Structure 1
Amino acid sequence: MANDFKEFTVRSVRRLTDDANHNAFTGTVWFQDALYVTHRQGDRHIDQQGRVIVLRSRDEGVTFDKVAVLRGEFDTRDPHLYTDGNRLYVSAIEDSPDWEFYSGVAWSDDGLHWTGWNRVEGADDYVMWRPQVFDGRFYCAGFRFHGIIETPGKPNFETEKTDVAWFESADGLHWEKQGIIHEGEDLPNESYFDFYPDGSIAMIMRRGLESRKPLLLRSVPPYENWDKVELDVALHGPALWLVGEDIWISGRWYLSPHVTHVAIFKIVDNTPRLQLVLPSGYGGEIAYMGVARHPLNKRRFHLSYYSCHMSPADPAVCQWDHPDIYLVDISFTAEYLSEWEVSDLIVDGTHQNTTVEQATGWRPLQAYGEEMVHQTFFPYGFVEATPIIDKRDGVIFFRKDVEVGPIDAGLLHLGYDGNVIVRLNGETVHEASGTNPAHSDEVTIPVAFRHGTNHLEIAMETNGGNACGIFARYEAT
């Protein structure tokens, strides 16, 4: 993909909390067809009242219900959600008043019934930060402080050196340290990583430098050697995720020492390129993003984060000391089906009572590509049929032969702004209503493919003449 046009669509940004608590430090994951979000709830940024909240959504992040409140002996903070496919885990840190740290975990087999809090084994003195599972094995980049220096009157401590170590586990509870990833006076600490399909890793690592510049690291199994490069951006509380082969990062972006926003960057040639600034800011109570890849769409993500940019409903609650949790639904640009045949409008027809045999006047129509999007307000991948529709009511047909090769099953990702019936090889696979404007990847349909050529046909009502066109792409499963 070129980097001179928008490579994403923000579907929504939702506020999940609005109360008198300090809500912060988030994680999110999909499990058993539901979306889960976790965060710390406390009275202040640092206090011994901290507990972990787990929320569940069964409508793709629109509404949530609370399914767990978890706590260890001390302030329990920085929660993270992850799954091995069979069990849902929430990890977090206990932070004692004398700056002793204990990593722990709880789990659930159904997302509703949870174990108690369990401190992990094999990671003494390490903060086990955002574990992940790949191919049935558990991995984590934990960090450790080498001596703690307390200054009277300051809420936080200082340290002269830290290290980040690589841990592996068979169950997420009993860990084995494999080796040091990075250590030194640059104070490496919080790390967020993602796996490529072949098991190789991309990781972002926060550092305590005055410049606030993180490291980008890469490694391959057995994760003994790590390539490192400093990123030229001031970023704390970092997150990282992979979209295809591309690396995306986010965090608390420092425009100045006192002005921040939650920003999203794409890594291009080891350089962070700003793509999006989320509603956020302006101080230090923002970021700590969680990342959840949609189970049916590898290019659609839910991103949780916290921010203090909106005031609580209660005017007696201070906005800047009581941040809230937010959730972004975002899709990243993909390669769409581009070359179509489109029929003339069948006036006064409906998508249900009109057949493709009635369609005439077929002509070629191409989806907007990288060069064409600069000449229109329609986005990349959109198949625009407004000149054919011409504000008239009726039905229009789109058809295309799709070469899929030797695959048996896949997913159709569609967007449309009129009522549609979708047929694949003559069989109806989807029927739904649509409203203007169309959004890419609005729906995902599991389908059975034939080896080789498959015929895709979409009948679309023009929504009183207001419809404009479609998005369509597929992927193998």
Structure 2
Amino acid sequence: MYIKSIRRITNDACHNAFTGACFFNGSLYITYRQGAAHADPTGKIIVLRSDDEGKHFENVATFRQTSDSRDPHLYTDGRKLFVVGFEAGTQRKSFTSYTEDGRNWSQWTHLRGTDGFIMWRPQFYQGMYYCAAYGEFERNKNSVVAWFESNDGINWERRYDIHKGKEIPTECFLDFKNDGTAVMLMRCDDKNKKPYLCMSKPPYRKWEKTRLNIPLLGPCLWLVKGEIWISGRWFVNPDIAHIGVFRIENKKPVLRLVLPSGPDFDCSYMAVAKDPENPVRFWFSYYSGHTASDDPEINQFSHPDIYLVEAIFGSDKTGFIIDWQVSDVQKISLDQIKIPVPDNIKWKKISAYTEKDIKKGIATLSTLGFVDAGNIIKGKDGVIFFKTQIDLGPSETIRMYLGYDGPVVVWFNNKKVFSGPGTNPAIADQTSVVVKPEHGTNTITIALETNNGKAEGIFCRIVKEEKTL
């Protein structure tokens, strides 16, 4: 997991918390609850939109009923973007609104068939809307998590109870694997605070439940190429909490990262937005009070802000091409290149950095997958070539992700598919291009202009295009 950026996207005198995130029609949407305190009758739901992958936002919608409107969530069925939240009055009713263009929103509408339940993070999967909602809640005593289904995201039906009892199950974060398996992280509000990892195959009537050995509240779960990742308000000890990120290995959580957060308990509620074109690139929103306000009169811990994380999940299994051939630096410019590359070029073997190199201390997470030709370039000006061959099965299209620290030209099977300037240092997945492969052996050739000897190498990986929704 490589963190590309962490941005603070609110900075005011409010209590900003409880986030949701989703991509829709090419834009990134973030939602959160804004109020005067953690629980406050003035609470309202804000929806922000970014057209430049989270660098700048505009407010596109605000929702509120008659009491504290909170715990918003964003999800899409491909045609509509839904925002869901609940009113924290005596009735605890759930509401929704949707948009088809990102600008015009429907009325804040009560979710029918859900009275007494909080519809916490519904999801859409293969034509149906699903939610593991919680209700019948008595603080420190009892609650129940029930499975709801809907044909339209407005009218819901309670199918059966998943879990109830002394563990006090509440908030559930749900996602679906490619084979249809539902995977869910279920919060428990008993004194142990240890969540359940739950799995169920269609039609989602029987659940396998494993209680994890970490105290974690405000649950979040996402899938990366079949791997299960979770996060939440992780209690380092009874008095200190941070947002911990864990990967599930053999049904056990393994700590991989602690995000800037805490040490106060009022943090977490991370949400996930998966890049629509890159299965290992994610945006995460969360809230925390770890950074003081610009106004010294404001207590940072009682007035937390919203943060946005951009992350890449990389491993040798995510498509980075490891084995390459590399040329010496040629004293030519990019516009002088002819493909195929002349036979008189002498090639050397070179490999991209792998996780083994990280363990050896040769590479870092940020250079995982990098083909480092710095020892060949050595400050020389000109063009260096990278070439590799990959065997592919039948596929209509693949997406090739690139990173480079100088101007490049890329050919796929001797056909030019991309050219552009670079940034130094190179950034994995800086850009991508869709190509149509041949069934069998395919050749990738990349020419990198050394930028007066300042360039060092490339990232390149391929991913088969996946159909979603």
Q: When the two structures are superposed, what TM-score results if normalisation uses the length of structure 1?
A: 0.93
1:386 matches 2:374 = yes
Could you tell me how far apart the structure 1 residues matched to 2:234 and 2:161 are? 27
Kindly, what percent of the aligned residue pairs are identical? 43
**Are 2:360 and 1:367 aligned?**
no
1:125 lines up with 2:110 in the alignment: no
Residue of structure 1 in register with 2:93 after alignment? 102
Offset at 1:169?
0.3
Give 3-state SS (helix, strand or coil) of 2:454's partner: coil
User: Residue 43 of structure 1 aligns with which residue?
Assistant: 36
Determine the C-alpha separation between the residues in 2 that align with 1:375 and 1:346. Answer: 31
Tell me the secondary structure at the aligned position of residue 387 of structure 1. Answer: helix
Counterpart of 1:212 in structure 2: which amino acid? K
**Residue type of the alignment partner of 1:391:** G
Please state how far the C-alpha of 1:133 moved relative to its aligned partner: 0.3
- TM-superposition CA deviations, 1:321-354 (whole Å, max 9, x none): 110000000010123111111111013x333333
C-alpha separation in 2, matches of 1:410 and 1:431: 18
Q: For 1:299-378, what aligned pairs fall within 5 Å after superposition?
A: 299-333=280-314, 334-347=318-331, 349-356=332-339, 357=341, 360-373=345-358, 374-377=360-363
Runs of 5+ in structure 2 lacking a partner?
Answer: none
CA RMSD, 1 decimal: 1.4
Q: What secondary structure, in the 3-state scheme, does the structure 1 residue paired with 2:120 have? A: strand
> C-alpha displacement at 1:423, in angstroms?
1.4
1:53-452 correspondence runs (5 A): 53-96=46-89, 99-146=90-137, 148=138, 158-333=139-314, 334-347=318-331, 349-356=332-339, 357=341, 360-373=345-358, 374-377=360-363, 379-452=367-440
**Corresponding residue SS for 2:376:** helix
* 1:281-311, Cα deviation, whole Å (9 max, x unpaired): 1112110011011000011110000000111
Of 265-274 and 466-475, the range deviating more from structure 2? 466-475
Deviation at 1:375, TM superposition (A): 4.4
Measured against aligned partners, the alpha-carbon deviations of 1:175-211 in whole angstroms (never above 9, x if no partner) come to: 0111111100110000001100111011101001212
Partner SS state of residue 371, structure 1: helix
Task: Note the C-alpha offset of 1:426.
Answer: 2.3
Q: What residue identity is the alignment partner of 1:353?
A: Q
Asked if structure 2 preserves the Cα contact closer than 8 Å seen for 1:352 and 1:421, the reply is no
- TM-score normalized with structure 2 length: 0.95
CA–CA distance in structure 2, aligned partners of residues 145 and 282 of structure 1: 31
State the match for 1:154 in structure 2: none
1:81-104 CA-to-partner distances (Å, cap 9, x unmatched) read 0000000000001111xx320001
What residue in structure 2 maps to residue 22 of structure 1? 15
Supply the AA of the counterpart residue of 1:474. Answer: I
SS in structure 1 opposite 2:336?
A: coil
Separation in structure 2 between the aligned mates of residue 341 and residue 179 of structure 1, nearest angstrom: 58
Counterpart residue type for residue 228 of structure 1: K
Is residue 405–residue 453 contact of structure 1 (8 Å, CA) maintained in 2?
no
CA distance in 1, matches of 2:66, 2:352: 57
Provide the C-alpha distance between the structure 2 equivalents of 1:301 and 1:25, rounded to a whole number of angstroms.
18
Q: Classify the secondary structure of the residue corresponding to 1:210.
A: coil
* CA contact 1:408–1:451 (8 Å) conserved in 2: no
Q: What is the DSSP-based 3-state SS (H/G/I as helix, E as strand, rest coil) of the residue aligned with 1:297?
A: coil
CA apart distance, 1:452: 2.2
Q: Which shows bigger deviation, 25-34 or 313-322?
A: 313-322
Return the letter of the residue paired with 2:335: Q
Task: Check the 8 A contact 2:67/2:87 in 1, yes or no.
Answer: yes
How far, CA to CA, are the matches of 2:304 and 2:379 in structure 1? 46
Unaligned runs of 5+ in 1: 1-7, 149-157
Q: Which moved more, 1:136-145 or 1:436-445?
A: 436-445
SS in 1 for 2:300: coil
User: Is the partner of 1:403 in helix, strand or coil?
Assistant: strand
CA distance in 2, matches of 1:59, 1:451: 36
Shift of the alpha carbon at 1:74?
1.8
Give 1:449 shift: 2.1
Work out the CA distance in 2 between the residues paired with 1:300 and 1:326: 17
Alignment partners' CA distance in 1, 2:402 and 2:107: 42
Q: 1:454 to 1:310 in 2, by over 3 A?
A: same
CA distance in 2, matches of 1:63, 1:365: 40
Q: Is the 8 A contact 1:404 1:451 kept in 2?
A: yes
1:12 maps to 2:5: yes
Q: 1:368-395: CA deviations, max 9, x gaps?
A: 2332332413533221111111121211
State the secondary structure of the residue aligned to 1:186: coil
User: 1:74 and 1:439 mapped to 2: Cα distance?
Assistant: 46
* Maintained 8 Å contact 2:246/2:256: yes
- Structure 1 Cα separation of the partners of residues 402 and 159 of structure 2: 44
Q: Name the aligned partner's letter for residue 412 of structure 2.
A: L
SS at match of 1:129: coil
Residue 424 of structure 1 and its aligned partner are, at CA, apart by 1.3
What one-letter code is carried by the residue in structure 2 that aligns with 1:382?
Answer: F
User: How far apart, in 2, do the equivalents of 1:375 and 1:121 lie?
Assistant: 56
**Structure 2: distance between partners of 1:314 and 1:351:** 52
